[in-house]
Amino acid sequence: MEPIINAQMPEFKVQAFQNGSFKTVSNEDLKGKWALFFFYPADFTFVCPTELVDLAGKYEQLKQMGVEVFSVSTDTHFVHKAWHDASDSIKKIEYAMLADPTGVLCRGFGVMKEDEGVAYRGTFLVNPEGLIKIAEIQDNSIGRNADELLRKVEAAQFVATHDGEVCPAKWKAGSETLKPSIDLVGKI
C-alpha cells in the first residue's frame, strides 16, 4: 500500500447537488484552494446523516477559513437531491454533495468498499497545491466528529504558513506550537 499523505489528489469530474441545483465539480476547480472530502457509505442511511449534519454545523467556519467542503458517496446527484428533499436533517446541508456512482473518487482516495459498492468513512484535506495533508479512513460503523476535524484543519493550515513549527497533541488555534530542534530531544 502506498502512502496517501502528500500524494496528489486524483483527477475527477463528477456531478453534484448543492443548494437546490446540480453542477459539475472537477479537480481543476480546486486548484489554489483548500478542499475537504468527506466520504460516507450511502444516502438514506443511519450514521451518515448524523455526520453530515454535524459537518454542516461547521461549514460556515470552514468557508471562512477558505476550505471548500464536499461530501461524497456512490449515490447519484439525483439521489442526493431526493434525500435533501425528504430529510429535515439533510436540508441543513449547504456544501456540495458529490455523486460518485462509478467510484472514480472512492477508488482515487482508496475508500471504495468493493464488495458493497459504497465508500468507507474517509476524510481527506487537500491543500491549495492539490496535496493530501490529512487522511482518515474508518469502519462504516464508527461516526466522525466535526469538532476534531475542524481542529485538524486549523493545524494543517497553521503549519502550512509557519515553516518549521509543528502542532502537538490536542493543539488548538492560538495554543503554543513546537519548533523541533536538538534542544527538545528528550525534554518533552
What's the pLDDT band for 188 if we cut at 50, 70, 90? confident
pLDDT single digits (tens) 116-149:
999 999 999 999 999 999 999 999 999 999 999 9
pLDDT single digits (tens) 76-116:
999 999 999 999 999 999 999 999 999 999 999 999 999 99
Selection from 11, 38, 30, 16 nearest residue 135 by Cα = 38
The Cα 188–Cα 185 span in angstroms is 7
For the question of residue 48 being annotated catalytic, the response is yes
pLDDT at 37 over 80: yes
pLDDT at 12 over 90: yes
Rg (CA), the chain: 17
Strand ranges for 11-59 from DSSP E: 13-18, 21-26, 34-39
Selection from 36, 185, 9 nearest residue 124 by Cα = 36
pLDDT at 38 over 80: yes
Reduced to 3 states (helix: H, G, I; strand: E, B; else coil), residue 20 is coil
The Cα 118–Cα 133 span in angstroms is 23
> How far apart, in Å, are the Cα atoms of 5 and each of 71, 111, 147?
20, 14, 22
pLDDT of residue 142: 97
pLDDT of residue 187: 74
pLDDT above 90: percentage of residues in the chain: 93
pLDDT of residue 172: 93
Whether 121 and 40 have beta carbons less than 8 Å apart is answered as yes
pLDDT of residue 44: 97
User: Quick one: average pLDDT of 29-50?
Assistant: 97
The Cα 93–Cα 121 span in angstroms is 18
Reduced to 3 states (helix: H, G, I; strand: E, B; else coil), residue 16 is strand
User: Could you tell me the sign of the dihedral formed by the alpha carbons of 12, 15, 19, 21, in that order?
Assistant: positive
pLDDT of residue 183: 80
pLDDT at 181 over 90: no
pLDDT of residue 67: 98
Q: Which of 14, 48, 69, 135 is catalytic?
A: 48
